[in-house]
Chains A and B, each alone.
Chain A
Amino acid sequence: MANVRQISVFIENKINSLGTVLGILKKNGINLRAMSIADTRDFGILRLIVNDTDKACEVLAQSEYALNVSDVVAVTIPDKTGALSYVLDILGANGVNVEYLYVFMSGQAQVSIVIRVDDNEKANKALKSGGVVQLTENDIAAM
Protein backbone atom coordinates (compact mmCIF):
# COMPACT_ATOMS: atom_id res chain seq x y z
CA MET A 1 0.00 0.00 0.00
CA ALA A 2 1.89 3.06 -1.25
CA ASN A 3 1.69 5.86 1.23
CA VAL A 4 1.21 9.48 0.52
CA ARG A 5 4.16 11.87 0.69
CA GLN A 6 3.64 15.00 2.75
CA ILE A 7 6.04 17.94 2.51
CA SER A 8 6.68 19.88 5.72
CA VAL A 9 8.15 23.36 5.40
CA PHE A 10 9.77 25.25 8.26
CA ILE A 11 8.56 28.83 8.19
CA GLU A 12 9.09 31.86 10.39
CA ASN A 13 6.19 33.22 12.38
CA LYS A 14 6.32 36.49 10.44
CA ILE A 15 4.01 38.45 8.20
CA ASN A 16 3.69 36.91 4.74
CA SER A 17 5.76 33.83 5.55
CA LEU A 18 2.91 31.60 4.49
CA GLY A 19 2.02 33.75 1.50
CA THR A 20 5.54 33.59 0.15
CA VAL A 21 5.57 29.80 0.16
CA LEU A 22 2.23 29.57 -1.56
CA GLY A 23 3.42 32.13 -4.07
CA ILE A 24 6.32 29.89 -5.03
CA LEU A 25 3.97 26.95 -5.56
CA LYS A 26 1.63 29.11 -7.62
CA LYS A 27 4.51 30.38 -9.76
CA ASN A 28 5.52 26.82 -10.54
CA GLY A 29 2.03 25.63 -11.34
CA ILE A 30 1.80 23.31 -8.36
CA ASN A 31 -1.64 22.57 -7.04
CA LEU A 32 -2.33 22.06 -3.34
CA ARG A 33 -4.39 19.07 -2.38
CA ALA A 34 -4.20 19.26 1.40
CA MET A 35 -2.72 21.70 3.85
CA SER A 36 -2.30 22.26 7.56
CA ILE A 37 -0.12 24.40 9.78
CA ALA A 38 1.22 23.71 13.22
CA ASP A 39 2.08 27.00 14.81
CA THR A 40 4.27 27.81 17.78
CA ARG A 41 5.51 31.14 19.08
CA ASP A 42 8.61 31.17 16.94
CA PHE A 43 7.85 29.16 13.87
CA GLY A 44 5.29 27.24 11.90
CA ILE A 45 5.46 23.86 10.27
CA LEU A 46 3.49 24.02 7.08
CA ARG A 47 2.34 20.60 5.94
CA LEU A 48 1.40 20.17 2.30
CA ILE A 49 0.21 17.51 -0.01
CA VAL A 50 0.53 18.63 -3.62
CA ASN A 51 -0.09 17.21 -7.04
CA ASP A 52 3.66 17.10 -7.91
CA THR A 53 5.69 16.34 -4.81
CA ASP A 54 9.09 16.14 -6.49
CA LYS A 55 8.72 19.48 -8.25
CA ALA A 56 7.45 21.17 -5.11
CA CYS A 57 10.47 19.94 -3.14
CA GLU A 58 12.81 21.14 -5.85
CA VAL A 59 11.44 24.66 -6.09
CA LEU A 60 11.10 25.11 -2.32
CA ALA A 61 14.64 23.83 -1.71
CA GLN A 62 15.89 26.30 -4.32
CA SER A 63 14.38 29.09 -2.27
CA GLU A 64 16.34 27.75 0.70
CA TYR A 65 13.48 26.42 2.79
CA ALA A 66 14.16 23.63 5.26
CA LEU A 67 11.99 20.73 4.08
CA ASN A 68 11.07 17.33 5.32
CA VAL A 69 9.19 14.68 3.35
CA SER A 70 7.31 12.12 5.39
CA ASP A 71 5.05 9.27 4.45
CA VAL A 72 1.57 9.69 5.82
CA VAL A 73 -1.65 7.71 5.69
CA ALA A 74 -4.67 9.17 3.91
CA VAL A 75 -8.18 7.76 4.15
CA THR A 76 -11.63 8.55 2.87
CA ILE A 77 -14.53 8.04 5.23
CA PRO A 78 -18.27 8.64 4.91
CA ASP A 79 -19.52 11.98 6.14
CA LYS A 80 -21.40 10.42 9.09
CA THR A 81 -21.27 10.78 12.84
CA GLY A 82 -18.81 8.29 14.31
CA ALA A 83 -16.93 7.65 11.06
CA LEU A 84 -13.72 9.23 12.32
CA SER A 85 -14.04 7.56 15.73
CA TYR A 86 -14.18 4.24 13.93
CA VAL A 87 -10.86 4.89 12.24
CA LEU A 88 -9.17 6.09 15.42
CA ASP A 89 -10.49 3.09 17.36
CA ILE A 90 -8.98 0.69 14.83
CA LEU A 91 -5.63 2.40 15.03
CA GLY A 92 -5.72 2.47 18.83
CA ALA A 93 -6.70 -1.19 19.07
CA ASN A 94 -3.69 -2.07 16.92
CA GLY A 95 -1.23 -0.06 18.95
CA VAL A 96 -0.74 2.70 16.38
CA ASN A 97 -0.01 6.16 17.76
CA VAL A 98 -1.49 9.18 15.99
CA GLU A 99 0.89 12.19 15.86
CA TYR A 100 -1.52 14.55 14.14
CA LEU A 101 -4.24 14.56 11.52
CA TYR A 102 -6.11 17.01 9.37
CA VAL A 103 -9.09 16.95 7.11
CA PHE A 104 -9.11 17.79 3.44
CA MET A 105 -11.53 17.44 0.57
CA SER A 106 -15.05 17.12 1.78
CA GLY A 107 -17.90 16.58 -0.56
CA GLN A 108 -20.23 13.99 -2.00
CA ALA A 109 -21.02 12.70 1.52
CA GLN A 110 -17.34 11.81 1.99
CA VAL A 111 -14.42 13.32 3.86
CA SER A 112 -10.71 12.68 3.33
CA ILE A 113 -8.20 12.82 6.13
CA VAL A 114 -4.40 12.84 6.39
CA ILE A 115 -3.14 10.93 9.41
CA ARG A 116 0.48 10.97 10.59
CA VAL A 117 1.19 7.85 12.60
CA ASP A 118 4.25 6.37 14.21
CA ASP A 119 4.12 3.15 12.21
CA ASN A 120 2.81 3.37 8.64
CA GLU A 121 2.94 -0.36 7.90
CA LYS A 122 0.98 -1.29 11.01
CA ALA A 123 -1.56 1.42 10.26
CA ASN A 124 -2.00 0.26 6.65
CA LYS A 125 -2.64 -3.32 7.78
CA ALA A 126 -5.04 -2.32 10.53
CA LEU A 127 -7.07 0.02 8.33
CA LYS A 128 -7.21 -2.54 5.53
CA SER A 129 -8.57 -5.18 7.85
CA GLY A 130 -11.09 -2.63 9.14
CA GLY A 131 -12.32 -1.97 5.62
CA VAL A 132 -11.24 1.67 5.60
CA VAL A 133 -10.61 3.17 2.16
CA GLN A 134 -6.95 4.27 1.90
CA LEU A 135 -5.71 6.74 -0.68
CA THR A 136 -2.48 6.80 -2.67
CA GLU A 137 -0.60 9.91 -3.75
CA ASN A 138 -1.98 9.48 -7.28
CA ASP A 139 -5.55 9.17 -5.97
CA ILE A 140 -5.15 12.49 -4.20
CA ALA A 141 -3.55 14.20 -7.19
CA ALA A 142 -6.50 13.11 -9.30
CA MET A 143 -9.16 14.24 -6.84
Chain B
Amino acid sequence: MEKYWNKEIECMSREDMKKLQDERLVAQVKHVYEHVPYYKKLMDEKGVTPEDIKSTDDLHKLPFLSKADLREAYPYGLLAKPLSECVRIHSTSGTTGKRVVAFYTQNDVDMWDDCVARAITAAGGTKDDVCQIAYGFGLFTGGAGLNGGSHKVGCLTLPMSSGSTNRQIQFMQDLHSTILCCTPSYAAYIGETVAELGLTPDDLDLKAGIFGAEPWTEEMRHSIEQSLGIKAYDIYGLTESSGPGVAFECSEQSGMHINEDNFIAEIINPETGEVLPDGEVGELVFTSITKEAFPLLRYRTRDLCVLSRKKCSCGRTLVKMSKPMGRSDDMMIIRGVNVFPSQIETVLIAEGYSPNYQIEVDRVNNSDTLDINVELNPDQFSDKVKDIQNRERALSASIKAMLGINPKVHLLPPKSITRSEGKAVRVIDKRKLHD
Protein backbone atom coordinates (compact mmCIF):
# COMPACT_ATOMS: atom_id res chain seq x y z
CA MET B 1 0.00 0.00 0.00
CA GLU B 2 1.59 3.20 -1.18
CA LYS B 3 1.68 5.93 1.48
CA TYR B 4 1.43 9.60 0.62
CA TRP B 5 2.10 12.56 2.86
CA ASN B 6 -0.33 14.73 0.95
CA LYS B 7 -2.46 12.50 -1.26
CA GLU B 8 -4.69 15.31 -2.49
CA ILE B 9 -1.73 17.12 -4.05
CA GLU B 10 0.43 14.15 -4.94
CA CYS B 11 -2.35 12.38 -6.83
CA MET B 12 -4.16 15.44 -8.16
CA SER B 13 -5.52 15.29 -11.71
CA ARG B 14 -3.48 17.17 -14.33
CA GLU B 15 -6.37 19.57 -14.95
CA ASP B 16 -6.72 20.48 -11.27
CA MET B 17 -2.94 20.84 -10.93
CA LYS B 18 -2.81 23.20 -13.91
CA LYS B 19 -5.61 25.32 -12.43
CA LEU B 20 -3.75 25.47 -9.12
CA GLN B 21 -0.49 26.40 -10.82
CA ASP B 22 -2.17 29.03 -12.97
CA GLU B 23 -3.69 30.76 -9.90
CA ARG B 24 -0.48 30.65 -7.94
CA LEU B 25 1.70 31.79 -10.83
CA VAL B 26 -0.43 34.85 -11.54
CA ALA B 27 -0.33 35.85 -7.86
CA GLN B 28 3.41 35.19 -7.58
CA VAL B 29 4.32 37.24 -10.66
CA LYS B 30 2.34 40.18 -9.20
CA HIS B 31 4.10 39.71 -5.83
CA VAL B 32 7.56 39.66 -7.40
CA TYR B 33 6.91 42.58 -9.78
CA GLU B 34 5.71 44.68 -6.87
CA HIS B 35 8.43 43.81 -4.35
CA VAL B 36 11.57 42.84 -6.26
CA PRO B 37 12.92 45.83 -8.25
CA TYR B 38 15.72 43.68 -9.67
CA TYR B 39 13.24 41.32 -11.37
CA LYS B 40 10.81 44.12 -12.26
CA LYS B 41 13.66 45.68 -14.25
CA LEU B 42 14.24 42.41 -16.11
CA MET B 43 10.55 42.16 -16.93
CA ASP B 44 10.40 45.79 -18.06
CA GLU B 45 13.41 45.28 -20.30
CA LYS B 46 11.66 42.32 -21.88
CA GLY B 47 8.42 44.29 -22.26
CA VAL B 48 6.42 41.95 -20.00
CA THR B 49 3.93 43.06 -17.32
CA PRO B 50 2.12 40.94 -14.69
CA GLU B 51 -1.10 41.35 -16.74
CA ASP B 52 0.57 39.47 -19.61
CA ILE B 53 0.82 36.38 -17.40
CA LYS B 54 -2.63 34.78 -17.19
CA SER B 55 -1.61 31.13 -16.83
CA THR B 56 1.34 28.74 -17.01
CA ASP B 57 1.00 28.92 -20.80
CA ASP B 58 2.48 32.43 -20.52
CA LEU B 59 5.44 31.32 -18.43
CA HIS B 60 7.80 31.41 -21.41
CA LYS B 61 7.29 35.18 -21.64
CA LEU B 62 9.08 35.80 -18.35
CA PRO B 63 12.82 36.50 -18.20
CA PHE B 64 15.19 33.89 -16.78
CA LEU B 65 17.19 34.23 -13.60
CA SER B 66 20.64 32.68 -13.34
CA LYS B 67 23.27 32.18 -10.67
CA ALA B 68 25.02 35.29 -11.97
CA ASP B 69 21.87 37.33 -11.17
CA LEU B 70 21.83 35.93 -7.66
CA ARG B 71 25.45 36.85 -7.09
CA GLU B 72 24.88 40.31 -8.49
CA ALA B 73 21.83 40.81 -6.27
CA TYR B 74 23.66 39.58 -3.15
CA PRO B 75 22.50 39.83 -0.44
CA TYR B 76 19.07 41.55 -0.49
CA GLY B 77 18.46 42.26 -4.20
CA LEU B 78 15.95 39.43 -4.72
CA LEU B 79 14.24 39.64 -1.33
CA ALA B 80 10.45 39.93 -1.69
CA LYS B 81 9.42 40.31 1.96
CA PRO B 82 10.58 42.65 4.72
CA LEU B 83 13.48 41.26 6.76
CA SER B 84 11.31 41.40 9.89
CA GLU B 85 9.18 38.65 8.37
CA CYS B 86 12.16 36.47 7.50
CA VAL B 87 13.14 33.84 9.99
CA ARG B 88 16.09 32.14 8.33
CA ILE B 89 18.82 32.21 5.72
CA HIS B 90 20.63 29.39 4.04
CA SER B 91 23.62 29.66 1.77
CA THR B 92 24.85 27.54 -1.08
CA SER B 93 27.86 25.33 -0.58
CA GLY B 94 29.69 27.36 -3.18
CA THR B 95 30.89 24.54 -5.44
CA THR B 96 31.07 27.02 -8.32
CA GLY B 97 32.22 30.42 -7.18
CA LYS B 98 30.69 32.94 -4.78
CA ARG B 99 27.98 32.08 -2.29
CA VAL B 100 24.30 32.84 -2.66
CA VAL B 101 22.02 33.69 0.27
CA ALA B 102 18.37 32.53 0.32
CA PHE B 103 15.77 33.90 2.75
CA TYR B 104 12.77 32.15 4.33
CA THR B 105 9.62 33.31 6.07
CA GLN B 106 7.99 30.89 8.48
CA ASN B 107 5.50 29.94 5.72
CA ASP B 108 8.43 29.19 3.42
CA VAL B 109 9.98 26.91 6.05
CA ASP B 110 6.63 25.16 6.61
CA MET B 111 6.19 24.60 2.88
CA TRP B 112 9.70 23.23 2.62
CA ASP B 113 9.17 20.88 5.58
CA ASP B 114 6.01 19.66 3.89
CA CYS B 115 7.90 18.89 0.67
CA VAL B 116 10.54 16.91 2.52
CA ALA B 117 7.83 15.11 4.50
CA ARG B 118 6.47 13.90 1.14
CA ALA B 119 9.93 12.55 0.28
CA ILE B 120 10.34 10.74 3.59
CA THR B 121 6.86 9.24 3.30
CA ALA B 122 7.57 8.08 -0.26
CA ALA B 123 10.66 6.27 1.10
CA GLY B 124 8.38 4.45 3.54
CA GLY B 125 9.05 6.74 6.51
CA THR B 126 6.48 7.25 9.27
CA LYS B 127 6.50 8.59 12.83
CA ASP B 128 7.68 5.18 13.97
CA ASP B 129 10.97 5.55 12.13
CA VAL B 130 14.33 6.71 13.43
CA CYS B 131 15.78 9.13 10.91
CA GLN B 132 19.56 9.62 11.01
CA ILE B 133 20.55 12.82 9.25
CA ALA B 134 24.20 12.84 8.26
CA TYR B 135 23.97 15.82 5.94
CA GLY B 136 25.87 18.89 7.14
CA PHE B 137 23.90 21.16 9.45
CA GLY B 138 24.26 24.90 9.33
CA LEU B 139 24.07 27.11 6.29
CA PHE B 140 23.79 24.10 4.03
CA THR B 141 20.17 23.22 3.24
CA GLY B 142 20.77 19.45 3.41
CA GLY B 143 20.74 19.03 7.18
CA ALA B 144 18.09 21.69 7.83
CA GLY B 145 15.78 20.39 5.11
CA LEU B 146 15.76 16.76 6.12
CA ASN B 147 15.60 17.80 9.77
CA GLY B 148 12.45 19.83 9.15
CA GLY B 149 10.80 17.09 7.09
CA SER B 150 11.73 14.41 9.61
CA HIS B 151 10.17 16.43 12.43
CA LYS B 152 7.06 17.05 10.36
CA VAL B 153 6.59 13.33 9.77
CA GLY B 154 7.30 12.76 13.44
CA CYS B 155 10.30 10.45 13.11
CA LEU B 156 12.77 10.29 15.94
CA THR B 157 15.37 12.57 14.39
CA LEU B 158 19.10 12.13 14.93
CA PRO B 159 20.74 15.40 13.79
CA MET B 160 24.21 13.90 13.40
CA SER B 161 25.53 16.22 10.67
CA SER B 162 28.37 14.63 8.70
CA GLY B 163 31.61 13.21 10.03
CA SER B 164 32.55 11.08 13.04
CA THR B 165 31.70 8.01 11.02
CA ASN B 166 32.41 5.55 13.81
CA ARG B 167 29.99 7.42 16.03
CA GLN B 168 27.41 7.49 13.21
CA ILE B 169 27.58 3.71 12.99
CA GLN B 170 27.54 3.32 16.77
CA PHE B 171 24.34 5.38 17.06
CA MET B 172 22.90 3.59 14.05
CA GLN B 173 23.21 0.34 15.98
CA ASP B 174 22.40 1.60 19.50
CA LEU B 175 19.42 3.73 18.49
CA HIS B 176 18.21 1.42 15.70
CA SER B 177 18.13 3.97 12.89
CA THR B 178 15.83 2.93 10.09
CA ILE B 179 16.37 5.78 7.63
CA LEU B 180 19.71 7.34 6.66
CA CYS B 181 19.93 10.76 4.98
CA CYS B 182 23.24 12.06 3.62
CA THR B 183 25.16 12.58 0.38
CA PRO B 184 25.61 9.44 -1.77
CA SER B 185 29.39 9.64 -1.44
CA TYR B 186 29.11 9.73 2.33
CA ALA B 187 26.65 6.83 2.24
CA ALA B 188 29.22 4.85 0.23
CA TYR B 189 31.88 5.73 2.80
CA ILE B 190 29.62 4.64 5.66
CA GLY B 191 29.00 1.38 3.79
CA GLU B 192 32.75 0.80 3.46
CA THR B 193 33.32 1.58 7.13
CA VAL B 194 30.53 -0.78 8.19
CA ALA B 195 32.32 -3.60 6.33
CA GLU B 196 35.71 -2.64 7.75
CA LEU B 197 34.28 -2.82 11.26
CA GLY B 198 33.37 -6.41 10.48
CA LEU B 199 29.64 -5.64 10.42
CA THR B 200 27.07 -6.64 7.84
CA PRO B 201 23.74 -5.05 6.89
CA ASP B 202 22.08 -7.60 9.20
CA ASP B 203 23.71 -5.83 12.14
CA LEU B 204 21.81 -2.65 11.24
CA ASP B 205 18.12 -1.79 11.26
CA LEU B 206 18.32 0.51 8.25
CA LYS B 207 15.62 0.00 5.66
CA ALA B 208 15.88 3.10 3.49
CA GLY B 209 18.22 5.92 2.55
CA ILE B 210 17.45 9.34 1.12
CA PHE B 211 20.50 10.64 -0.72
CA GLY B 212 21.13 13.76 -2.74
CA ALA B 213 23.02 17.07 -3.03
CA GLU B 214 25.31 15.64 -5.69
CA PRO B 215 24.87 13.53 -8.82
CA TRP B 216 25.06 9.76 -8.42
CA THR B 217 24.71 6.92 -10.92
CA GLU B 218 22.49 3.83 -10.91
CA GLU B 219 25.63 1.80 -10.36
CA MET B 220 26.43 3.79 -7.24
CA ARG B 221 22.87 3.32 -6.00
CA HIS B 222 23.16 -0.42 -6.40
CA SER B 223 26.49 -0.45 -4.62
CA ILE B 224 25.09 1.52 -1.65
CA GLU B 225 21.95 -0.64 -1.47
CA GLN B 226 24.16 -3.73 -1.20
CA SER B 227 26.59 -2.39 1.35
CA LEU B 228 23.90 -1.05 3.71
CA GLY B 229 21.03 -3.42 2.97
CA ILE B 230 18.59 -0.65 2.12
CA LYS B 231 16.48 0.80 -0.64
CA ALA B 232 18.21 4.01 -1.70
CA TYR B 233 16.03 6.92 -2.81
CA ASP B 234 17.11 10.03 -4.65
CA ILE B 235 16.11 13.50 -3.51
CA TYR B 236 16.67 16.73 -5.36
CA GLY B 237 16.66 20.38 -4.58
CA LEU B 238 18.65 23.56 -4.66
CA THR B 239 19.12 26.32 -2.13
CA GLU B 240 17.55 28.70 -4.64
CA SER B 241 14.33 26.66 -4.45
CA SER B 242 14.46 26.05 -0.68
CA GLY B 243 16.69 22.99 -0.59
CA PRO B 244 16.18 19.23 -0.84
CA GLY B 245 12.58 18.23 -1.38
CA VAL B 246 11.88 20.02 -4.64
CA ALA B 247 11.69 16.53 -6.13
CA PHE B 248 11.79 13.05 -4.62
CA GLU B 249 11.90 9.43 -5.69
CA CYS B 250 9.05 6.98 -5.09
CA SER B 251 8.96 3.20 -4.82
CA GLU B 252 9.42 2.88 -8.58
CA GLN B 253 12.91 4.40 -8.20
CA SER B 254 12.91 5.67 -11.76
CA GLY B 255 12.97 9.44 -11.67
CA MET B 256 11.81 11.96 -9.11
CA HIS B 257 8.36 13.51 -8.64
CA ILE B 258 8.52 17.28 -8.62
CA ASN B 259 6.39 19.09 -6.04
CA GLU B 260 4.87 21.15 -8.80
CA ASP B 261 2.19 22.69 -6.61
CA ASN B 262 5.14 24.72 -5.33
CA PHE B 263 7.65 24.58 -8.17
CA ILE B 264 6.77 24.70 -11.86
CA ALA B 265 9.37 22.88 -13.93
CA GLU B 266 10.42 23.59 -17.49
CA ILE B 267 13.14 22.10 -19.69
CA ILE B 268 14.92 24.53 -21.99
CA ASN B 269 17.61 24.41 -24.62
CA PRO B 270 20.55 25.88 -22.68
CA GLU B 271 21.88 27.72 -25.72
CA THR B 272 18.65 29.27 -27.08
CA GLY B 273 16.34 29.33 -24.04
CA GLU B 274 13.61 27.64 -26.08
CA VAL B 275 11.22 25.51 -24.01
CA LEU B 276 11.48 21.83 -24.92
CA PRO B 277 8.77 19.15 -24.76
CA ASP B 278 8.70 16.24 -22.31
CA GLY B 279 11.22 13.57 -23.17
CA GLU B 280 13.92 15.90 -24.49
CA VAL B 281 17.15 16.54 -22.60
CA GLY B 282 17.69 20.12 -21.58
CA GLU B 283 18.34 22.45 -18.69
CA LEU B 284 15.91 22.33 -15.77
CA VAL B 285 14.25 25.65 -14.90
CA PHE B 286 12.14 26.23 -11.76
CA THR B 287 9.53 28.84 -10.98
CA SER B 288 8.65 29.02 -7.28
CA ILE B 289 4.96 29.80 -7.02
CA THR B 290 4.45 29.65 -3.26
CA LYS B 291 7.70 30.95 -1.76
CA GLU B 292 7.32 34.36 -0.14
CA ALA B 293 10.73 35.75 0.88
CA PHE B 294 12.93 34.63 -1.97
CA PRO B 295 10.70 33.60 -4.88
CA LEU B 296 12.70 32.98 -8.04
CA LEU B 297 10.91 32.92 -11.37
CA ARG B 298 12.37 30.86 -14.20
CA TYR B 299 15.57 30.09 -12.35
CA ARG B 300 18.05 28.18 -14.48
CA THR B 301 19.46 25.31 -12.44
CA ARG B 302 22.16 24.28 -14.95
CA ASP B 303 21.16 20.70 -14.28
CA LEU B 304 20.46 18.69 -17.42
CA CYS B 305 17.58 16.22 -17.33
CA VAL B 306 14.38 15.01 -18.94
CA LEU B 307 10.76 15.48 -17.78
CA SER B 308 8.06 12.84 -18.05
CA ARG B 309 4.36 12.82 -17.38
CA LYS B 310 3.93 9.10 -18.01
CA LYS B 311 1.83 7.20 -15.50
CA CYS B 312 3.79 6.13 -12.44
CA SER B 313 3.06 2.86 -10.64
CA CYS B 314 3.13 4.69 -7.29
CA GLY B 315 -0.08 6.52 -8.21
CA ARG B 316 1.39 10.01 -8.00
CA THR B 317 0.57 12.33 -10.88
CA LEU B 318 3.33 14.84 -10.15
CA VAL B 319 5.62 15.31 -13.15
CA LYS B 320 8.83 13.30 -12.95
CA MET B 321 12.37 14.45 -13.63
CA SER B 322 15.15 12.03 -14.48
CA LYS B 323 18.28 11.97 -12.36
CA PRO B 324 20.32 14.98 -13.49
CA MET B 325 22.61 13.76 -16.23
CA GLY B 326 25.27 16.27 -15.51
CA ARG B 327 25.49 19.98 -15.15
CA SER B 328 25.83 22.33 -18.03
CA ASP B 329 28.69 23.91 -16.08
CA ASP B 330 30.39 20.79 -14.70
CA MET B 331 30.50 19.37 -18.13
CA MET B 332 34.08 19.61 -19.27
CA ILE B 333 35.26 20.02 -22.78
CA ILE B 334 38.45 18.06 -23.19
CA ARG B 335 40.13 17.98 -26.57
CA GLY B 336 36.86 19.21 -28.03
CA VAL B 337 34.78 16.41 -26.52
CA ASN B 338 32.01 16.90 -23.92
CA VAL B 339 32.85 14.88 -20.83
CA PHE B 340 30.69 14.34 -17.76
CA PRO B 341 32.26 12.89 -14.61
CA SER B 342 29.26 10.56 -14.31
CA GLN B 343 30.29 8.78 -17.50
CA ILE B 344 33.60 7.87 -15.91
CA GLU B 345 31.90 6.74 -12.72
CA THR B 346 29.67 4.40 -14.73
CA VAL B 347 32.68 2.68 -16.29
CA LEU B 348 34.54 2.37 -12.99
CA ILE B 349 31.68 0.68 -11.21
CA ALA B 350 30.92 -1.55 -14.21
CA GLU B 351 34.54 -2.75 -14.17
CA GLY B 352 34.48 -3.44 -10.44
CA TYR B 353 36.48 -0.47 -9.21
CA SER B 354 35.55 1.64 -6.24
CA PRO B 355 33.77 4.84 -7.26
CA ASN B 356 36.47 6.81 -5.50
CA TYR B 357 38.20 8.66 -8.24
CA GLN B 358 39.53 12.06 -9.17
CA ILE B 359 39.91 13.55 -12.58
CA GLU B 360 42.71 15.98 -13.30
CA VAL B 361 42.52 18.03 -16.42
CA ASP B 362 45.40 20.17 -17.53
CA ARG B 363 46.76 21.77 -20.62
CA VAL B 364 50.30 20.88 -21.65
CA ASN B 365 51.84 22.26 -24.82
CA ASN B 366 48.41 23.55 -25.90
CA SER B 367 46.90 20.11 -25.68
CA ASP B 368 44.41 18.98 -23.00
CA THR B 369 45.47 16.13 -20.77
CA LEU B 370 43.09 13.87 -18.86
CA ASP B 371 44.41 11.90 -15.90
CA ILE B 372 42.11 9.71 -13.89
CA ASN B 373 43.21 8.59 -10.45
CA VAL B 374 41.35 5.51 -9.25
CA GLU B 375 41.74 3.56 -6.06
CA LEU B 376 42.47 -0.13 -6.38
CA ASN B 377 40.40 -2.47 -4.21
CA PRO B 378 42.62 -4.63 -1.98
CA ASP B 379 41.45 -7.77 -3.76
CA GLN B 380 42.54 -6.38 -7.12
CA PHE B 381 46.13 -6.03 -6.02
CA SER B 382 48.88 -8.25 -7.38
CA ASP B 383 52.56 -8.59 -6.63
CA LYS B 384 53.44 -7.99 -10.27
CA VAL B 385 53.77 -4.54 -11.72
CA LYS B 386 52.64 -5.77 -15.12
CA ASP B 387 49.28 -6.92 -13.69
CA ILE B 388 48.58 -3.47 -12.38
CA GLN B 389 49.76 -1.87 -15.59
CA ASN B 390 47.51 -4.21 -17.58
CA ARG B 391 44.59 -3.13 -15.43
CA GLU B 392 45.43 0.49 -16.04
CA ARG B 393 45.53 -0.08 -19.76
CA ALA B 394 42.26 -2.04 -19.79
CA LEU B 395 40.49 0.60 -17.74
CA SER B 396 41.86 3.33 -19.95
CA ALA B 397 40.51 1.48 -23.00
CA SER B 398 37.05 1.12 -21.44
CA ILE B 399 36.93 4.78 -20.55
CA LYS B 400 38.13 5.71 -24.00
CA ALA B 401 35.29 3.64 -25.48
CA MET B 402 32.82 5.59 -23.34
CA LEU B 403 34.24 9.09 -23.78
CA GLY B 404 35.87 9.04 -27.17
CA ILE B 405 39.14 10.37 -25.77
CA ASN B 406 42.09 8.52 -24.30
CA PRO B 407 42.76 9.12 -20.60
CA LYS B 408 45.80 8.18 -18.53
CA VAL B 409 44.62 5.97 -15.73
CA HIS B 410 46.59 5.81 -12.49
CA LEU B 411 45.71 3.09 -10.05
CA LEU B 412 46.44 4.10 -6.50
CA PRO B 413 46.46 2.32 -3.14
CA PRO B 414 43.23 2.26 -1.10
CA LYS B 415 42.47 5.44 0.86
CA SER B 416 44.93 7.54 -1.09
CA ILE B 417 42.15 9.72 -2.50
CA THR B 418 40.67 11.87 0.27
CA ARG B 419 37.22 10.77 1.31
CA SER B 420 34.43 13.30 1.36
CA GLU B 421 31.73 13.69 3.95
CA GLY B 422 29.93 16.26 1.87
CA LYS B 423 30.06 16.71 -1.88
CA ALA B 424 32.95 14.81 -3.37
CA VAL B 425 35.53 16.77 -5.36
CA ARG B 426 35.76 14.71 -8.48
CA VAL B 427 37.27 17.13 -10.93
CA ILE B 428 40.39 19.21 -10.63
CA ASP B 429 40.65 21.40 -13.67
CA LYS B 430 44.06 23.04 -13.74
CA ARG B 431 43.52 24.76 -17.03
CA LYS B 432 43.07 28.51 -16.84
CA LEU B 433 40.07 28.81 -19.13
CA HIS B 434 38.19 31.67 -17.46
CA ASP B 435 38.93 34.30 -14.81
**Which partner residue on chain A sits nearest B371 by CB separation?**
A42
B411 touches A66 (CB 8 A): no
- Distance from B209 Cβ to chain A, minimum over Cβ atoms (Å): 25
A66 touches B383 (CB 8 A): no
**Which partner residue on chain A sits nearest B386 by CB separation?**
A99
A38 at the interface (CB under 8 A from B): yes
A70 touches B383 (CB 8 A): yes
**Which partner residue on chain A sits nearest B380 by CB separation?**
A66
B269 at the interface (CB under 8 A from A): no
B336 at the interface (CB under 8 A from A): no
In chain A, positions 11-59 with a C-beta closer than 8 Å to chain B are 11-12, 38, 40-43, 45, 47
Q: How many angstroms from the CA of A99 to the CA of B385 in the assembled complex?
A: 10
- Distance from A41 Cβ to chain B, minimum over Cβ atoms (Å): 8
- Distance from B362 Cβ to chain A, minimum over Cβ atoms (Å): 16
Q: Which of A8, A47, A64 contacts B415 (CB 8 A)?
A: A64
B413 surroundings in chain A (CB, below 8 A): 10-12, 43, 65-66
Q: How many angstroms from the CA of A12 to the CA of B416 in the assembled complex?
A: 8
In chain B, positions 400-421 with a C-beta closer than 8 Å to chain A are 410-416
B381 touches A8 (CB 8 A): yes
| Total chain B interface residues with beta-carbon distance under 8 A | 19
- Distance from B150 Cβ to chain A, minimum over Cβ atoms (Å): 34
Q: How many angstroms from the CA of A66 to the CA of B388 in the assembled complex?
A: 13
B383 touches A40 (CB 8 A): no
A40 surroundings in chain B (CB, below 8 A): 385, 388-389
* Interfacial residues, chain B to chain A (CB-CB below 8 A): 196, 376-378, 380-385, 388-389, 410-416
- Distance from B410 Cβ to chain A, minimum over Cβ atoms (Å): 4
B384 touches A66 (CB 8 A): no
A66 touches B385 (CB 8 A): no
Q: How many angstroms from the CA of A95 to the CA of B388 in the assembled complex?
A: 25
Q: How many angstroms from the CA of A65 to the CA of B377 in the assembled complex?
A: 10
Q: Contacts A12-B416, A43-B388, A45-B385 known; A66 to B410 CB distance under 8 Å?
A: no
26 of the cross-chain contacts (CB-CB < 8 Å) are A8-B382, A10-B413, A10-B414, A38-B385, A40-B385, A40-B389, A42-B412, A43-B388, A43-B412, A43-B413, A45-B383, A45-B384, A45-B385, A61-B378, A64-B196, A64-B414, A64-B415, A65-B413, A66-B376, A66-B377, A66-B378, A66-B381, A66-B413, A67-B378, A68-B383, A70-B383
A6 at the interface (CB under 8 A from B): yes
A67 touches B411 (CB 8 A): no
A41 surroundings in chain B (CB, below 8 A): 410
A65 surroundings in chain B (CB, below 8 A): 413-414
B377 surroundings in chain A (CB, below 8 A): 66
B378 surroundings in chain A (CB, below 8 A): 61, 66-67
Q: How many angstroms from the CA of A116 to the CA of B196 in the assembled complex?
A: 31
- Distance from A102 Cβ to chain B, minimum over Cβ atoms (Å): 12
Q: Which of A38, A42, A64, A68 contacts B381 (CB 8 A)?
A: A68
Q: How many angstroms from the CA of A41 to the CA of B412 in the assembled complex?
A: 11
- Distance from B223 Cβ to chain A, minimum over Cβ atoms (Å): 19
B412 touches A12 (CB 8 A): yes
Q: Which of B384, B388, B411, B415 contacts A99 (CB 8 A)?
A: B384
- Distance from A108 Cβ to chain B, minimum over Cβ atoms (Å): 29
B411 touches A42 (CB 8 A): yes
- Distance from B196 Cβ to chain A, minimum over Cβ atoms (Å): 8
A42 touches B410 (CB 8 A): yes
